[in-house]
Amino acid sequence: MRSLLFVPADSAKKLHKGMTSGADALIVDLEDSISPANKVAARASAFDFLKNTSAQKQRPRLLVRVNSLDTGLTDADLEAIVPGKPDAILLPKAVGGVSVTHLDAKLAAREAIAGLPENAIAIVALATETAASLFHTGTYGGASARLTGLTWGAEDLSAELGAEANRDENGRFLDPYRLARALCLAGASAAGVPAIDTVYVDFKNDSGLRRECEEARRDGFTAKMAIHPGQVAAINEVFTPTPAMIAHAKSIVDAFAASPGMGVVGIGGKMYDRPHLVRAQALLKRV
């Protein structure tokens, strides 16, 4: 996945538009974009959408962002949407691997009730939305076989910290959120799952979005979440390896294959060692 587009579960119009946006995944949202009074109706809408689209052969991946475990709403969310066979659950306000393990158990029970195969539904964790969560980003490894990605968020975190802003006048994240971003990246790597960059809220600022995508890709993120369909094309473009990147990665892999046992190889006057090989293999795997 390169792009994951948030869509409120209670808007049939936006759900339909999301399906034609070109996003690799849709995040059907039951959390922040849904008012407390509309939670029940949103669950029903999410189930209907999943039921009508999950069996389609040509479709984006379908994730559902449920309400966080501390709200008391997660069980009702899962009971409503698991029979619709989502591909994954996006768990907000996760506090380390224990939160993922907790959700895993809830999913296992509901998969059995719905007649779904074990581990049919994956988990992506939102790992930095609370202050406490920052201290647990290294605990996701081994928490659940369902875990397929980590992402991070700055909006809830800034509210909890009591901050006046999370970005500077140039639209760049301030230090507390740069720390959260780095911890998510390291936590994902330690857990052996992809790191997914957070949303860029200034959805009319195309140059700012592209810059943030390029910086995220440079640092090791493999995808980015979006809050508007208009952001999807740029995200997909930046996170799609170019032919030159693919060719270079293949040249590194081929050079090491041609010299088995060597720790360093030379290509075009430059030396490449084992970390370069690992990066090249990871890029080709994504392709």
- Give the tens place of pLDDT for each residue, 128-165: 999 999 999 999 999 999 999 999 999 999 999 999 99
Global pTM?
0.91
Kindly report, residue by residue over 195-231, the tens digit of the pLDDT: 999 999 999 999 999 999 999 999 999 999 999 999 9
Angstrom distance (rounded) from CA 183 to CA 79: 32
Instruction: Please compute, for residue 189, the number of CA atoms within 13 A of its CA located in the half-sphere on the CB side.
Output: 12
The span from the CA of 201 to the CA of 178, in Å, is 16
Do residues 21 and 234 make contact, with C-beta atoms less than 8 angstroms apart?
no
Amino acid at 106: K
Q: What's the token pair of residue 178?
A: 């740069």
Nearest-angstrom CA–CA distance, 83 and 79: 7
Do residues 69 and 78 touch, judged by C-beta distance below 8 A? no
| Percent of the chain scoring above 70 in pLDDT | 100
CB neighbours of residue 110 within 10 Å: 17
What structural domains does the chain harbor?
3-240 (3.20.20.60), 244-286 (no CATH)
- Are the C-beta atoms of residues 122 and 64 closer than 8 Å to each other? no
